[in-house]
Copies of this chain bind each other. A is one copy, B any other.
Amino acid sequence: MRLTAMTDYALRLLLHVAQHPQRLCTIAEVARAYGISEAHLMKITHRLALGGFLETVRGKGGGMRLARAPADIPLGAVVRCMEPDFALVECFTHDVHAPVPAAAALPEDAPLPGGTCLLDGHCGLAGVIGGALQRFMQHLDRYSLADVLPGAARPVQWLQQPVTAATAAAD
């Protein structure tokens, strides 16, 4: 189970830019810092700018900066902006807008191929996987870029807190 490399790189790019609020950052420096190709980073920067997360300044001395404060950049919004689709299983492509909150923010060019499964519409898999994806995105929506910056207080309690029967039932 994976997010695309583009989403991974986008999160790292935003983390890098957020750590240098006093100046413009360049694609070249982000490429050097993480060993990511400039061609990839140009596409990512373009999409993040369209999504309202980055501002770019053209020309000599230009570069990029965050378009909003790190606390106003929810991680879930970045993932929705970058992922081409959430087609966890083939038949699920039909339901992608239903289960994920704010999925209307999915990029318009997200592919939504028709399913070829004979059980499509008859089995309950899409509903259950949709519910799981909903919980995944809801968790990301609780955190912003500010929460995960180096030096920020770590939300480790979400990782280490045992999930009791009671909290699981309330989920």
Contact = CB atoms under 8 A, between A and B. Distances in A.
Contact of A158 (B128, B143, B149, B168): B128
Given A8-B89, A12-B117, A119-B150, A79 B130 contact: no
Interface in A83-135: 83, 85-90, 98-99, 101, 116-119, 122-125, 127-135
Contacts of A158: 127-128, 131
Interface residues of A, number: 65
A34 B155 contact: no
A145 to B, nearest CB: 9
A39 interface: no
Interface of A: 1-4, 7-8, 11-12, 15, 33-35, 75, 79, 83, 85-90, 98-99, 101, 116-119, 122-125, 127-140, 142-143, 147-152, 154-156, 158-159, 163, 166-168, 170-171
